[in-house]
Amino acid sequence: MNFIFVSPNFPVRYFKWVEALKDHGVNVLGIGDSPYYDVHPRLKNALTEYYFVADLGNYSEMLKACQYYQGKYGKIGFIESDNEWWLSQDAKLREALDVKSGFFPKDMAKIKAKSAMKECFREGGAKTMRYMLVDGPKDLEKALDFVEKVGYPIFVKPNVGVGASGSFALRDEDSLRHFLSKSLSETYIVEEYIEGIIVSFDGICDSHSDVVFCTSDHFTTAVAKVVNDDLDYYYYNNPFALPFHDIDGEAFEKTGRAVVKAFGIRQRFFHIEFFVLTEDKPGFAKKGEFVALECNMRPAGGYTPDLIDYANSVSCYEIYADVVCYDENRQNMNKEKFYAFASARKDKCEYAHTESEILAKYHDSMCMYGRYPIHMALAMGDTYYYAKFKKYEDGLAFDAFVRGKAK
């Protein structure tokens, strides 16, 4: 099988997806915007060939690269980037080369537009926040009517966007009027504001949209708040085999599987985010209920796939390769499960404990640690520490030790 992997060099640890595919006998053909000399050695070793393009957003150059590979190696089975920036272009390339797997341009609305996602969420039985779309001053009166129903604050973000960029709360009429005082650069979605934490339904599904592996990441601080307020934070992975401490895990898994079906996700990794309310929202939902936020057709960001592996004692990279090659999960899923915690520190903060003290105290629990790349630091932190525990409370104690501030 020939698999074109777009942007295999970013994020840097994506070489693990390529290695797993190669181990399964897949012919992995890379297209990236890093010069070959700058490609990670493990990625070089796993790829059959690498094609450099100066701009991954240049469709004609990307099509030329894909056609080159098809002419040299034969029919292409998959074209994937696992990167949100290139999902639409991936779809166009599949259509151009008659690649049967994955999404196509006609599918992009429900994948990229947050407003269109809501219909799929509702079809899967998930509750969604009330919303409206705005483009500028002409929508002010409509927005004021919306606020009459849901109250302040409200949350605004690009209707088609990546990550937390451009996301913020409007807390009063003055801020709303200022926001809509001129035409916006793109359409924004305005949603009612709820107090909560983000809990994700992560996993891999087969060609029938049946989930073959799933787990859950719990983000106690929203990434938008981390970015806007420049905070350090932690998150953790909670396998469904272990007790949940903030949500009904059984109901959450059932809804997550139904949502995957509703979106028609096939043979790919998904990262679906929900809000879990930390206080009642009158007229909408109660504390502890989960509400759909957005669906991402890619692995969770940063090094989260590794955190998932530590928690579940599996390789999600290998599971993905199983699905690509055999349309099923052939890994042993009966190994011991853990709560895997990822705690991050910011260089600007002074902490009570040194790295040496952290490594000495948690030597037996530590999975990996190091520095996030500069391009990830704003959202993820500067230094990370990943550790796994049999008890949830031990994970909380670990985070308190790592992020405890000096007095």
Return per-residue pLDDT of the chain as tens, 407 residues: 999 999 999 888 999 999 999 999 999 999 999 999 999 999 999 999 999 999 999 999 999 999 999 999 999 999 999 888 899 999 999 999 999 999 999 999 999 899 999 999 999 999 999 999 999 999 999 999 999 999 999 999 999 876 556 788 999 999 999 999 999 999 999 999 998 999 999 999 999 999 999 999 999 987 777 877 889 999 999 999 999 999 999 999 999 999 999 999 999 999 999 999 999 988 889 999 999 999 999 999 889 999 999 999 999 999 999 999 999 999 999 999 999 999 999 999 999 999 999 999 999 999 999 999 998 888 899 999 999 999 999 999 999 999 999 98
- The answer to whether the beta carbons of residues 129 and 192 sit under 8 Å apart is yes
Q: Where in the chain is the domain with CATH 3.40.50.20?
A: 2-109
In our burial notation (b when 16+ CB lie closer than 10 A, e otherwise), range 279-301 reads eebeeebeeebbbbbbbbbbbbb
| Residues 359, 367 contacting (CB under 8 angstroms) | no
Cβ(316)–Cβ(213) below 8 Å: yes
Q: How many residues are present in the chain?
A: 407
Taking the CA atoms of 87, 93, 97 and 98 in sequence, report the sign of the dihedral they define: positive
Q: Which residues contact 378 (CB under 8 A, 6 or more apart)?
A: 227, 230
Which parts of 329-391 fold into alpha helices (H)? 355-361, 374-380
**Comma-separated ranges of CATH 3.30.470.20 domains in the chain:** 196-403
To which H or E segment does residue 158 belong? Answer: strand 154-158
Q: What is the pLDDT of residue 114?
A: 93
- Residue 137: asked if its preceding bond is cis (omega within 30°), the reply is no
Report the candidate in 92, 90, 49 with the shortest Cα–Cα distance to residue 71: 49
Task: Check residue 162 and give its pLDDT.
Answer: 63
User: Which CATH number is correct for 196-403, 3.30.930.10, 3.40.50.300, 3.20.20.150, 3.30.470.20?
Assistant: 3.30.470.20
- Let me know: does 170 contact 152? Beta carbons within 8 Å: yes
Which single residue is written with the structure tokens 């796939």? 305
Q: What is the location of CATH 3.30.1490.20 in the chain? A: 130-192
User: Cβ distance 11 to 5 under 8 Å?
Assistant: no
CB atoms within 10 A of CB 386: 23
CA distances (Å), 319 to each of 9, 16, 133, 268, in order? 21, 12, 38, 10
Q: What predicted TM-score, i.e. pTM, was given to this entire model?
A: 0.93
Pick from 55, 46, 3: nearest CA to 22: 46
Q: Under CATH, to which class is 2-109 assigned? A: alpha beta
φ/ψ of 385, rounded to 5, equals: -140, 120
Which H/E stretch holds residue 178? helix 173-179
Q: Give the CATH number of domain 130-192.
A: 3.30.1490.20
Nearby residues of 380 by Cβ (< 8 Å), 6 or more positions away: 301, 302, 344, 372
